Amino acid sequence: MDTIVLKARGKINLTLDVVGKRDNGYHDLRMIMQTINLYDTITVKKTKTPGIRINNNLAWLPKDDRNITYKAAEKFLKEANITSGVYIDIFKRIPVAAGLAGGSSDAAAVLVGLNKLFETHFSKKKLMEIGLEIGADVPFCILRGTVLAEGIGEVLTPLPSLPSMHILLAKPNISVSTASVYKALKVDEITKHPKTDEYVEAIKARNIQFITNNMDNVLEDVTIKMHPQIEQIKQDMLEYGALGSMMSGSGPTVFGIFPSRYKAAVAAEYFKNQCGLREVHVTSTFCKAKREGKRRERR
Ligand code: ATP
């Protein structure tokens, strides 16, 4: 095998809490992350010529060592003592700098892909350790599913898979730098924290009503102050029938959980045609248990 094609899926945060700040500037987080079915397609090939080459479908996205997948390939090849070259093609669908971990997921897919391509047999744990050197969200993007993430995002506790839910993503036509949001956040002044422990119990009990009513993200107020249109998108989603709506990660993407794909699609048309949003996607939550069940059936 000298080529492998992978799906690099994005994520949303059902909850996001900041519980402290470390001396090195990193924040201590508690968040429930959920993989979604919107994905970038990653093709990884072995090449005869050494070196790492990258291509992608967006004219402005770096194709050199500034692309996060370059770092992933470089670290993997070094760790595995491999000197041959690789070519990585990225077809992006996940909005960039949007709070959906698109870059982290691309990096995760490259690590998983190279491990298969070169038959290195690194364990998932080892791949997650390499991933953490690239970015705090990369280990989660390797694990996938419904997960409680703590520490800087690397202490991961898998939770039972949620039933498949219809998700609408609407990104305002702006980019938000994660660093600028954390810089503006005053950790000591956070008065209302997400009910993370209760939320975990609700996921275990498959209590969908609690899940849609109690989504909470302490970064929302910070990003909304910078870009008030985020609040308007949230309100519009609820008016169009979302059971719950929230900003993902540091934003600016807003997601809504809808009772049907049809309702999500009607709202999507509104955001695209009436509000002029360029990046609007109807997708669903990724159900890891279902995927693993299918794999067992195939064996
Ligand atoms: P997170 O939710 O982890 O904060 P994000 O969705 O906010 O992620 P990304 O889309 O991962 O942000 O990208 C953030 C920055 O990384 C962008 O400025 C982009 O130029 C750079 N970048 C490098 N490689 C990639 C890639 N493969 N995909 C997306 N962005 C990339």
Assigned token pair, 261: 């794909």
Ligand 1 pocket mutation pick from 43, 53, 68, 69 by most atoms within 8 angstroms of CB: 68
Q: How far apart are CA 104 and CA 142, in angstroms?
A: 9
Note down the domain range covering 136. 3-159
Total of domains in the chain: 2
Same domain, 154 and 178: no
Cα dihedral value 198, 200, 204, 208, nearest 10: 70
Give the per-residue pLDDT at 93.
98
pTM for this entry = 0.95
- Using the atom order of ligand 1, give the atom closest to the CA of residue 90: 27
Confidence of residue 288 (pLDDT cuts 50, 70, 90): confident
Ligand 1 mean position to 97 CA, how many Å? 5
Confidence of residue 194 (pLDDT cuts 50, 70, 90): very high
Last residue of a domain, one of 126, 159, 192: 159
Domain presence at residue 134 = yes
Domain presence at residue 244 = yes
Same domain, 66 and 84: yes
Q: How far apart are CA 240 and CA 203, in angstroms?
A: 25
Last residue of a domain, one of 127, 159, 191: 159
Summarize pLDDT for 85-105 with one digit per residue, the tens.
999 999 999 999 999 999 999
Summarize pLDDT for 250-273 with one digit per residue, the tens.
999 999 999 999 999 999 999 999
Summarize pLDDT for 1-11 with one digit per residue, the tens.
899 999 999 99
Q: How far apart are CA 52 and CA 86, in angstroms?
A: 5
Assign residue 189 the CATH number of its domain: 3.30.70.890
Catalytic residue among 17, 40, 137, 216: 137
Domain presence at residue 45 = yes
* ipTM of the complex as predicted: 0.93
Which residues contact residue 13 at a Cβ distance below 8 angstroms, ignoring those fewer than 6 apart? 31, 32, 33, 34, 99, 217, 246, 248, 249
Domain presence at residue 299 = no
